[in-house]
Every structure is written in C-alpha cells, then in structure tokens.
Structure 1
Amino acid sequence: DKAGRIAIPQSLREYAGLSKDCVVLGITKRLEIWDSDAYKAWIESTEAEFAAASEALDIQNL
C-alpha cells in the first residue's frame, strides 16, 4: 500500500505462524518473513550450534 506495507493473506499468516510482530530478511535473491519469536529462537539455537562447532574446530575470534 501507500505506507509501504505488504499484505499477507490470513491463510498464509496462519500457515507460517506469523503474529503481529515479524522480521523481514533479504537473503540473496529472495525475501523471508519470520514470526519475531520464531526468528529469535532460531538465532539462539544457531548461535549455540556455531559456538559448539567453532569450539570443536578450535576456531577463535572470527
């Protein structure tokens, strides 16, 4: 619309589990829309996995 918002149909919001607060990411040639809480949880789990992998590989301060 004129305010720069993107309308997402209710059926897609329900399917994706989107709440009122969302995160929009530009990833290479695509756009991802995440529920804010789901994105925070994914980031936290990814950071933990990266920390464990870097520790296993003895990588420091990248």
Structure 2
Amino acid sequence: MFLGTYTPRLDDKGRLTLPKKFRGILDKGLMVTKGQDHSLAVYPREEFVALARRAAAASRSDPEARAFVRNLAAGTEEQEPDAQGRIVLSAEHRRYANLDKECVVIGSVDFVEVWDKAAWERYVAANEESYSQAAGAALGDIV
C-alpha cells in the first residue's frame, strides 16, 4: 500500500527520487502516466496492466471510453528505477503536471501521485474542508 506525503526535488535531468518506502513495491517495474487533476500517476507494472485491461474492456463505440483508453495508452511510459531509486520523468509528463523542481509525492493506496508542490498546496486548500465533511453516495460505506 502507498501511504504518506513526501517532497523530493526534480534534478536538472528530470529525475525524481522515489520515497524509500515505495521502492520495494516499484523496483520490479513501474508505469508513469498522466493522472487526474494534472498530476502524474505511478503504478506498479502489474497494477497498471490490470487497470489498462479494465479500460480496454470498455465499449469502443463510446467516444468518452475511446478517448480515455487512447490517452491512457499514449500517455504512459514504462520505467525501472535506477540504483538510487530515481526515475526519469519525460518532458511531456513534466509539462502535463507543470513539474519544475519542487514536487510532492503522495501515496494513493494502490498507486503513487506526483504533483507540482504549488498545485498540491492549492488542491489541499480547496479540498481539505470537504474531506473533513466527507459523506455521500460516492463514498458508499467508507465513512
């Protein structure tokens, strides 16, 4: 499980050092893809394969499903962390997530999210109150 918040920096070559707590799960290979809210999503390879298969099973006659599958496949890169636990984020991924130097890496239970630090701070400020008041059909019996 991926949990916690970390603040690594991107180096000049676009490399991001993964938190040590996450490396054991990700050292067998990982997939970096465009995530929601202009973040990046980092999945263990096996978890991503399962997600991609579920997405590919959606009806291709549905334009929204087609667009999602296309964007998921086109926006994903396979990576293996180096000996220091670093991955290289492509220029396109850095552009999409507006990543420069200051990053926030958060555990999102079954995958990892990479955010621009300022974007993450804005997201937290905008959503922290709704988290403390969480209720509703989307949450089912979680809260």
Instruction: Calculate the TM-score normalised by the size of structure 1.
Output: 0.68
Q: CA deviation at 1:5?
A: 1.8
Q: Percent identity?
A: 34
> Which amino acid in the other structure matches residue 38 of structure 1?
A
Cα pair distance change 1:50/1:30, threshold 3 Å = closer
Give the 3-state SS of the residue equivalent to 1:25 in structure 2: strand
Distance in 2 between the 1:42 and 1:15 partners?
16
Alignment of 1:25 onto 2:100: no
Unaligned regions of 5+ residues in structure 2, if any? 1-81, 135-143
| Number of positions where the alignment pairs a residue of Structure 1 with one of Structure 2 | 53
> Which amino acid in the other structure matches residue 12 of structure 1?
H
Residue number among 80, 84, 90 corresponding to 1:3 in the alignment = 84
Match of residue 125 from structure 2? 44
Unaligned regions of 5+ residues in structure 1, if any? 55-62
Match of residue 16 from structure 1? 97
More RCO (CA 8 Å, sep 6+): 2
Give the 3-state SS of the residue equivalent to 1:2 in structure 2: coil
Residue number among 34, 37, 42 corresponding to 2:115 in the alignment = 34
Q: CA deviation at 1:19?
A: 1.8
